[in-house]
Amino acid sequence: MNNKNKSVSNKILVDTLSYCKKEKYRGFNKHDGLNSPILNFFLGWAKWPRLIAIQGVMRFPINLRPLLLIPKTYNPKGLSLFVRSYLNLYETTKDQAYLVEAEYLLKLLLDVKSDLNNNSTAWGYHYPWQDMGFFAHKKMPNAVVSAFVCESFLHAYKVTKNEKYLNVVEQCINFFMRDLSVLKDDENELCLSYMPVEMTMRVMDVSILIGCVIAKYCIYRPSDKLSKIAFRLINYVVNQQTDEGAWYYTDPSEDSHIRHDNYHTGFILDALWFYMEESGNNQWMPQYRKGLDFYAKNLFNNDGAPKWMSDKELPYDIHGAAQGIITFSRHKNEYSELVDNIYHWTITNMYNQKGFFYYQKNQYFTKKFNLLRWCNGWMSLALSVKQKYE
C-alpha cells in the first residue's frame, strides 16, 4: 500500500475511534432485543418467545432498537477491541494519548465486570441472551467475552509491564478453571463450556480462545500445570479440523445450524497462531496452514466480499470483513492482495464518512446502521492490525 493509501486508512481508523469516543463507547448490540422493556414484557418469559424477540430485532432490515426503547450499552468485548486498537496505535506511533485512552478503557472494563466471588473475574454481555442451547441473564459471565477481555489486559501488560493487568488475567483464569463445565477431559484433550450453566454443546472457539489466553499468561508467569491445560485445550480443537481444513461451530456439528462460518474460523486460526508463537510449539503448523488456505479460498470472494459461510454467500457481514483483515494481515507476503481486496471492498461498500461502518449487505439492500462493537469495534481492531503489519 502506498503512502497516500496508508494515510487514508489511518484517517479512517482515527475517525472511527473518534466516533466511538463521542458515543462514550456505548452502542446497540446484535442480540440485545430483550433489552427492550416492551419485548421483554411480552416475550421474555420462555425460550421460543425470547428467540423470536431477539432474532426479529436482529434480522429486521432497519434498526428497530430506538423504537423499541432499547438503550445503548457498554459491550465488554467491544471495549476490549477498542483497547487493543489504541494499544496497536500506541505501538506504531508512540503517541502517549493512545495509551492514556487504552488505560481509561481498561479501568472501565473493571467497572463493568460481572459479579463473582471466590477471587474470580469475568465478563458477559449487558443484555439477556437466549440461544438454542441455553439462556443467559444480563451480565452472566461467558468464556468468549472473558477471553477477549483477557487479550486486552495481556496486551496492556506487554506494553506497560504493569502487574495489575496480569493479576486481572490470573483472576479470569480462575473463572475458566473453576466455573465452567468440563465437557471433555482426557490425557490429551480438554473442552470447557461456553457459560457456567448446565450445557452439553461444545463450541469450538471457546476452548481454543481460553487455551491461547492461558498460554500467553504462562509466558509471563510460568506454570507447568497451566501450560499443560493450555495444550490440551488447543489440541482438542485442532483435532476437530475436517479433512478439507475447516471447523464446524460445534462438536458434534449437528448441535448448531452454523457450519463453516467466516469469523469463527478466523477466531480459531488467530488463537492457534498466537499459541504457537507464544509457546514456541509449532507442531500444528500444517493444520494451521491448511485452515488458513480453506479460509482464504472458501470464505471470501475474489473482490474481497466476506461470505457468510463456506456454502452460503449472503449476507456480507462487517464482522467477517474485519476478521479477514485481522487474520491475513500478518501474512502480508502471501495474502497482501486478499487483504487489499477485503479492505477496499469494505471501505467502498460498508463505510460511512461520519466515522462508522454498516452492519450487513444483502442482495437488494444494505443495513446502514451501526452496532458499535460488531461494526466499529471489529473494524477499529482490523485497521489497527493492518497498519501494524504494513
pLDDT one-digit tens code per residue, 287-332: 999 999 999 999 999 999 999 999 999 999 999 999 999 999 999 8
pLDDT tens-place string over residues 200-259: 989 999 999 999 999 999 999 999 999 999 999 999 999 999 999 999 999 999 989 899
Torsion of CA 139, 145, 151, 157, to 10 degrees: 0
Q: What is the pLDDT of residue 3?
A: 60
First vs last C-alpha separation in the chain: 8
Residue 168 has pLDDT above 80, yes or no: yes
In Å, the largest CA–CA distance within the chain is 56
Angle in degrees, 0-180, between the axes of helices 143-160 and 204-220, rounded to the nearest 10: 20
pLDDT-derived band at 86 (thresholds 50, 70, 90) equals very high
* Confidence band, pLDDT 50/70/90 cuts, at residue 7: confident
- What is the per-residue pLDDT across 321-339, written as a single tens digit (0 to 9) for each? 999 999 999 998 999 999 9
Neighbour-count burial of 222, counting CB atoms closer than 10 A to its CB (0-12 exposed, 13-18 middle, 19+ buried):
exposed
Tell me how crowded residue 161 is: count the other CB atoms within 10 A of its CB: 10
Q: Which of 43, 128, 32, 5 is nearest to 359 (CA)?
A: 32
CA atoms of 173 and 295, how far apart (whole Å) = 30
pLDDT band at 4 (very low <50, low <70, confident <90, very high): low
Instruction: Return the amino acid letter for 324.
Output: G
Alpha helices, DSSP H, located in the chain = 3-22, 37-43, 47-59, 76-93, 96-111, 143-160, 163-179, 204-220, 224-238, 262-279, 285-298, 318-329, 332-350, 378-389
What's the grid cell of residue 13?
481508523
Average pLDDT score over the chain: 96
Q: Which three cell numbers stand for residue 199?
A: 450445557
